[in-house]
Structure 1
Amino acid sequence: MKKIYLLILMLCSTCFYADAHLITYKAPEGAVLNKDFSISVREPGQRELFVPTYNVSVTEVAHTKNIIRNSSFGYFDFSGKVEIAVTYQRGPIHRVKIRPSKDGITFKVVGNTIVFSLTQPRNISIEVNNDIFHNLQLFANPIETEKPSDSDPNVIYYGPGIHQIGTLKIPSNKTIYIDGGAIVQGQLLVSGVNNVHIKGHGILTQWASMNSKNGSHVNSQKKGSDERNDQITIEYSTNIDVSGLIVLPHKYSVLIGQSKNVNISSIKSFSSEGNADGIDIFCSSDILIDRVYMRNSDDCVAIYGHRWKYYGNTTNITVQNSVLWADIAHPLLIGTHGDTSHPDTLEKIKFINVDILDQHENQIDYQGCMALNAGDSNLLRNITFDNIRIDDIRKGQLINVRVMYNHKYNTSPGKGIENIYFKDISYNGNKANLSVISGYDETRTIKNVLFENLRINGKLITDDMADKPVFYKTSDMANILVGEYVEGIRFIQNTGPGDTKNSQVEK
């Protein structure tokens, strides 16, 4: 009878998990938590479940000094509808903002608690009293429908708890699974292999210990000066998927070098060091980045030609449905690095449905929420920015499109930039600096830049806008400096798909 009872209990537990609409994960013993917020979540009419709030380091630039701040994040999985209560512990609440604003999340404040509901997965920032550093990033994930078995010989499984793995070189045809409630300390190396899946809702980090008093990190891996410390490296590989993880890197969160058919989806990234980019792509093709949340102390997404040991063109890259937050440097950057001896072409690149929450960059050379910077004889062409929403950035430019020669990084100017399409771009704010579009010389030019439905603080900017004086350039109305060696720049309103005027720009 006892065996039958246990069997029934096990079956019931399995069915409950399979039919679960809300899953939370305990923080592993030894994880560093943040006490600025407490989070509870429940299905309507059900009991509340506690969501741990983890500590994470981000960077605030004060004048020219970088200051490490303690921010926080929490995560859970759900389907259907959930009710969320977030209690602020740092003092009274005077103002609350939940971003991205496009999500239209309505809330109410009861004392020191913010209450709202979600009906679909979201990656959001909850900011109290205009504090963007001691904020809460909340990741409401979909429930996983295909969770691999820990007994599968082709699966390397990390369950709840803390795991120190050093550098793991992953063979072909393997799945690395980091479960919710797990923290894996180490690096994942995908080099010269095929058909690798890296997934789960846990945390991947380089740090073996985190000082809870000041949020500083101690690096557990001792590396030579010629070795990189990127969290996930994908190089010389094909058919690679990375999904779901929260990545707290020492340098890049993900480096993709000379690879093909790589999908990065639903990862979340925070960094606070110098040169700690989010996702950087070199000499690769057929790359999809989807539904990521990147808050980085350097470029969030950067797309290049040759650098270091990677060679070749970069083509067919899509970044979509994502949230980008650059505490320093660029949210989106294309083109700086290449191969002067054997020039690279970077083409067929699309950014679709992206929210840019911030840029803060003191150095003028590295401003631009959307930056196309052709250096090292690179040719940049057939690049689309479609449905990009930019908040009131603290310091930077909306766009920076230049054929340039940056003597710190380049060995030659870029070759040129052509066929660039900005569609449904909106900016709401007043802090953005003057944007720039500029070629280099008569042979290194910018050609065919189309803005369709550019809106600044709700105002549509077009060549035939009613209140533009006839002696103004349209770019003056958009706060864009159009420099020398630029031709074919236009600002238009919505046109039909059959309009031949758009044929010069590949969408």
Structure 2
Amino acid sequence: MKYTNSRVVVYEGPKSLKDARPEDLIPANEERGDCSLMHSTSAHVSVNGQDLYVYETMVNYSRSWNNAYLPPLGKTPMTYFDFEGKVRLSVTMDEFDIEKVTLSPLSYGIEPRISEDGHSVEFELDHPDNYTLTFNDSPERAVHIFTNSPEDGADIPDPDDPSVIYIGPGEWDIECIMLKKGQTLYLAGGAVVHGIVNANFENDIRVCGRGIIDGSSFEGWKGNSARIPLKFDHCDDLTIKDVIVLGSNAWCLQGYDNQRGLIDGVRIISARPNSDGITLQSVQDYTVRNAFVRSWDDSLVVKNYDRNSENISFENTQIWTDLAQSMEIGYETNKGKKADAYIRNITFKDITVLNNYHKPAISIHNADDADISDIVFDNITIEHEEIGSGDGSQMPYLIDLWVCQSGNWSTTIDRGNIHDVVIRNVKVLSGNDVKCRLKGYDEEHTITGVEIENVNILGKDLTISDFVR
């Protein structure tokens, strides 16, 4: 079959990346194994007959916290390309027989065809998005395929512009890129930057392109030294678009004390302890959309570290949460001990959770004295959950609204409240028969005004009376 009306843009990866050996794919902690970003030699992906460069990046299949910060780290294949029209993909896995395959998001209804020899699958795509192939009902060796529409002239800045930092294809060791007011960092497709991108007290900053920011060359932070790939503190008017973040040594994308931000089309795969995906702390007027986050800590999280958080929207985003929560507000809701602290007008809409293995998928944990209100979770599809796995058995709740005191996270002496929360159009397609919780702290610090509408867990409709209190 020929796809003569399609347009495809592929990006050759750096030839200098190490080829992954079979032993590199066996999970091991970073002191015993090689956690660096590699070129895959056992996973092969092609589009319309053109071979794609496939990376091997760190993932973490364990579901329990490791006090030494040294959990076993495996690897999974990832590739990316741009297209328009309709394209045919072929994916071959040398390592195992394919008896069953699933392509997510399931909402597309695409059923890949398994080859006669049981090592390849084929399928068609006609819409750029983030796609994940899962084999034999196992999370291990899932293939992540990130696709975009082709860039146009407006997407690519002028390399000769003095306000542009342009990084072309290839492998680059740049420990830290510090951006200044009005600057644009562009990572071309095929670029791999081993390092971090930060800014402090700067405005009007843009990070964009098809390239990769990789943190695997840094030692895991072990509670001491976090190297955050995308970290922007006290920065207003920020745009981050389409870049890929892999191998962070701690959390992955941080916005702190910012106003007016757009995070659009960012893809994140992280595996090491405390590798939260997108964490927004004391920000206002932010939109996160079209993202993909696979994390080994909270995937999308809002906190108050200083001033208040409000007007934040997470839209059309896919999540795979190997540890902790998928969509979280809290626990730190007034770490700065500000008077009259609040978090309000936060929306999670059109979210697909591919997998949630550990703690709640939808959660508000008010562990300080903030007032949390006007929160909406709308049109949430959870394809698979195994909530309570590992040490997540302490919190085996799909939805958890809780005013609490935490020995780990509480800063203020007093407690706060949660009110005016809407949870609607939520469905869980497969997983455990889990509970939901709605629990205030005492008679003065409560949860009120919660609206539950069209929430279905494994075929059973949920009402407010079904919540554990």
Picking from 193, 201, 207, the partner of 2:202 is 193
Aligned AA (2:321): A
Alignment of 1:360-375 (within 5 A): 360-361=357-358, 367-375=359-367
Cross-structure match for 1:82: 87
Cross-structure match for 2:287: 288
Q: CA distance change for structure 1 residues 63 and 177 in 2, over 3 Å: closer, same or farther?
A: closer
**What is the deviation of 1:442?**
1.1
**What is the deviation of 1:20?**
8.4
Q: Following TM superposition, where does structure 1 have runs of at least 4 consecutive aligned residues deviating by more than 4 angstroms?
A: 62-65, 223-227
Picking from 319, 339, 344, the partner of 2:341 is 344
Distance in structure 1 (CA, Å) of the matches to 2:385 and 2:414: 29
Cross-structure match for 2:46: 40
1:250 counterpart SS class: coil
**What is the deviation of 1:219?**
3.6
So what's the TM-score if we normalise by structure 2?
0.87
Tell me if the contact between 1:403 and 1:413 (Cα under 8 Å) persists in the aligned partners: no
So what's the TM-score if we normalise by structure 1?
0.80
Aligned AA (2:46): S
Cross-structure match for 1:5: none
Cross-structure match for 2:318: 323
Provide structure 2 residue ranges, at least 5 long, that are not aligned to the other structure.
18-37, 389-396
Say which one has the larger Rg.
Answer: 1
2:392 equivalent to 1:391: no
**What is the deviation of 1:341?**
5.0
Distance in structure 2 (CA, Å) of the matches to 1:64 and 1:177: 36
Cross-structure match for 1:335: 330
2:137 counterpart SS class: coil
Q: CA distance change for structure 1 residues 405 and 63 in 2, over 3 Å: closer, same or farther?
A: closer
Picking from 84, 93, 97, the partner of 1:92 is 97
Cross-structure match for 1:73: 78
Tell me if the contact between 1:107 and 1:115 (Cα under 8 Å) persists in the aligned partners: yes
Tell me if the contact between 1:28 and 1:182 (Cα under 8 Å) persists in the aligned partners: yes
Tell me if the contact between 2:47 and 2:87 (Cα under 8 Å) persists in the aligned partners: yes
Moved more, 192-201 or 106-115: 106-115
Q: CA distance change for structure 1 residues 59 and 381 in 2, over 3 Å: closer, same or farther?
A: same
Distance in structure 2 (CA, Å) of the matches to 1:288 and 1:359: 23
Structure with more relative contact order (C-alpha pairs < 8 Å, separation 6 or more):
2
Cross-structure match for 1:29: 15
Q: What RMSD, in angstroms, separates the aligned Cα atoms of the two structures?
A: 2.0
Cross-structure match for 2:416: 415
**What is the deviation of 1:228?**
3.3
Cross-structure match for 2:307: 312
Cross-structure match for 1:475: 465
Cross-structure match for 1:468: none
2:452 equivalent to 1:451: yes
Distance in structure 2 (CA, Å) of the matches to 1:64 and 1:26: 37
Distance in structure 1 (CA, Å) of the matches to 2:64 and 2:347: 34
Aligned AA (2:295): N
Distance in structure 2 (CA, Å) of the matches to 1:63 and 1:350: 29
Cross-structure match for 1:245: 243
Moved more, 97-106 or 324-333: 97-106
Distance in structure 2 (CA, Å) of the matches to 1:379 and 1:352: 22
Tell me if the contact between 1:374 and 1:413 (Cα under 8 Å) persists in the aligned partners: no
Distance in structure 1 (CA, Å) of the matches to 2:6 and 2:87: 12
Distance in structure 1 (CA, Å) of the matches to 2:299 and 2:453: 25
Aligned AA (1:104): G
1:325 counterpart SS class: strand
Distance in structure 2 (CA, Å) of the matches to 1:239 and 1:79: 30
Distance in structure 2 (CA, Å) of the matches to 1:226 and 1:127: 35
Tell me if the contact between 1:343 and 1:376 (Cα under 8 Å) persists in the aligned partners: no
